[in-house]
Structure 1
Amino acid sequence: METFLYKAKSSVNGKKISGELQAENELAVREMLMKKNLDPLSISKKSTFNADLSEVGIFKQKIKLTDINFFCKQFASMIQAGISIGKGLNICAQQCSNKTLKKHLEHIHSQVTEGKTLSEATREENIFPDILVSMIECGEASGNLDKVLQQTVDHFDNQLGVTKKVKKALAYPTIVLVIVAVVVVILMVKVIPNFMGLLTETGAEIPIPTQIVIAVSNFCIAKWPILIGIVVVLVVIGFNIKKIPSCRRALDRLSLKLPIFGDLNKKSISAVFASTMSMLVESGIPMLQAIEITKKVIGNAVADEELDLAIISLKQGQSLYDSLSGSIIYPPIMYSMINIGEETGALDDMLIKISVYFKEEVDIAVDNMTLLIEPALTIFMAVIVGGIMLAVMLPTFAAANAMM
Structure 2
Amino acid sequence: MPMFRYKSRDHQGKLVEGKMEGNQPNHVADILMSRGLIPVDISEVKDTGDGFTFAQLFEKPVTLDELVIFSRQMFSLMQAGIPVMRAMAGLRDSANNPVMKKALAKVLSDLESGRTLSTSLAKQPRVFSQIVISLVHVGENTGQLDEAFLQLATYLEREQETRKQIKAAMRYPMFVIMALIGAMVILNIWVIPVFADMFTKFGVELPWTTKTLLATSSFFVNYWPIMLVVSIGLVFWVKHWMASESGRLIWDKKKLGMPVVGSVIERALLARFGRSFSMMIAAGVPLLQGLKLVADAVDNAYMGSKVITMSVGIRSGESLLRVSTNSGLFNPLVLQMIAVGEETGRLEQLLTSMAEYYEREVDFDLKSLTAKIEPILISIVAGMVLILALGIFTPMWDMMSAMKK
TM-score of the superposition, structure 1-length normalised? 0.82
Structure 1 unaligned segments of length 5 or more: list them: 1-53
Corresponding residue for 2:337?
337
**Is the 2:209–2:387 Cα contact (8 Å) retained in structure 1?**
no
Alignment of 1:102-113 (within 5 A): 102-113=101-112
8 Å Cα contact 1:136-1:148 kept in structure 2: yes
Correspondence 1:159-308 to 2 at 5 A: 159-308=159-308
The residue aligned with 2:365 is 365
1:96, CA displacement in angstroms?
1.1
Distance 1:375 1:319, change over 3 A: same
Mapped pair 1:136 → 2:136: yes
CA distance in 2, matches of 1:238, 1:271: 28
CA distance 1:102–1:286, change in 2 (3 Å): same
Give the structure 1 partner of residue 57 of structure 2.
58
Aligned to 1:81: 80
Name the counterpart of 1:387.
387
1:125/1:210 CA distance change after superposition, 3 Å: closer
SS state at 1:284 partner: coil
Q: Which amino acid aligns with 1:105?
A: L
Between the aligned partners of 2:302 and 2:195, the Cα distance in structure 1 is: 52
TM-aligned CA deviation for residue 203 of structure 1: 3.2
Q: Distance in 2 between matches of 1:251 and 1:152?
A: 28
Distance 1:283 1:244 in 2: 33
Matched, 1:123 2:138: no
Q: CA deviation at 1:102?
A: 0.6
| Cα separation, partners in 2 of 1:108 and 1:328, compared to 1, 3 Å | same
- For residues 363 and 256 of structure 1, the distance between their equivalents in structure 2, rounded to whole angstroms, comes to 17
- Residue identity opposite 1:320 in structure 2: L
Secondary structure at 1:201 match in 2: helix
CA contact (8 A) 2:295 2:305 kept: no
Offset at residue 55 of structure 1 (A): 8.2
1:94 equivalent in alignment to 2:75: no
Q: Is contact 2:188–2:216 with CA below 8 Å preserved after alignment?
A: yes
Correspondence for 1:377? 377
Q: Which amino acid aligns with 1:124?
A: K
CA offset digits 1:189-222 (Å, max 9, x no partner) = 1111111122223333322211111111111111
Q: Deviations over 1:106-127 (max 9, x none)?
A: 1212332343322222123334
Aligned-residue offset at 1:57:
4.1
Q: 1-side partners of 2:163 and 2:328: how far apart? A: 22
Write out per-residue CA displacement over residues 114-150 of structure 1, whole angstroms, 9 at most, x where no aligned residue.
4332222212333411111111122122222112211
2:339 maps to a residue whose letter is: N
Q: Residues 128-183 of structure 1: CA distance to partner in whole angstroms, max 9, x if unpaired?
A: 11111111122122222112211111101111221222222222222111111111
Question: Following TM superposition, by how much is the alpha carbon of 1:386 offset from its aligned partner in structure 2, in angstroms?
Answer: 4.2
Say whether the 8 Å CA contact 1:206–1:395 is kept in structure 2: yes
- Name which of structure 1's ranges 273-282 and 107-116 shifts more when overlaid on structure 2: 107-116
Q: Distance in 2 between matches of 1:381 and 1:213?
A: 16
Q: Distance in 2 between the 1:158 and 1:345 partners?
A: 25
Secondary structure of 1:83's aligned partner: coil
CA distance in 2, matches of 1:226, 1:216: 14
Residue 296 of structure 1 and its aligned partner are, at CA, apart by 0.5
Deviation at residue 343 of structure 1 after TM alignment: 0.4
CA RMSD between the two structures: 1.9
- Tell me, in whole angstroms, the C-alpha distance in 1 between the residues paired with 2:371 and 2:330: 25
Structure 2 distance, partners of 1:380, 1:283, is: 50
CA distance in 2, matches of 1:81, 1:386: 68
For residues 38-59 of structure 1, what are the alpha-carbon distances to aligned partners after superposition, in whole Å with 9 as ceiling and x for unaligned? xxxxxxxxxxxxxxxx982422
Equivalent residue, structure 2, for 1:398: 398
Q: For residues 314 and 124 of structure 2, what CA distance do their matches in structure 1 show?
A: 31
SS at match of 1:326: helix
**What residue in structure 1 maps to residue 25 of structure 2?**
none
Amino acid in the other structure paired with 1:381:
V
Tell me if structure 1 keeps the 8 A contact 2:72–2:153: yes
Q: Secondary structure at the match of 2:146?
A: helix
TM score, norm. by length of structure 2: 0.82
For 2:335 and 2:176, locate their aligned partners in 1 and report how far apart those are by CA, in whole Å: 39
Identity fraction in percent: 28
Q: Which amino acid aligns with 2:82?
A: I
Per the alignment, in what secondary structure is the counterpart of residue 61 of structure 1? coil
Q: Which amino acid aligns with 2:117?
A: L
**Separation in 1, partners of 2:328, 2:167:** 24
Provide the C-alpha distance between the structure 2 equivalents of 1:262 and 1:333, rounded to a whole number of angstroms.
20
CA distance in 1, matches of 2:399, 2:146: 80
Counterpart amino acid of residue 396 in structure 1:
M
CA–CA distance in 1 between the matches of 2:65 and 2:159?
A: 10
AA at the equivalent of 1:122: L
CA distance, structure 1, for counterparts of residue 54 and residue 90 of structure 2:
21
Paired with 1:208 and 1:374, the residues of 2 have a C-alpha distance of 30
Please identify, of 189-198 and 341-350, the stretch whose mean Cα deviation from structure 2 is larger: 189-198
2:82, 2:216 → 1: CA distance?
Answer: 68
Distance in 1 separating the partners of 2:332 and 2:280: 22
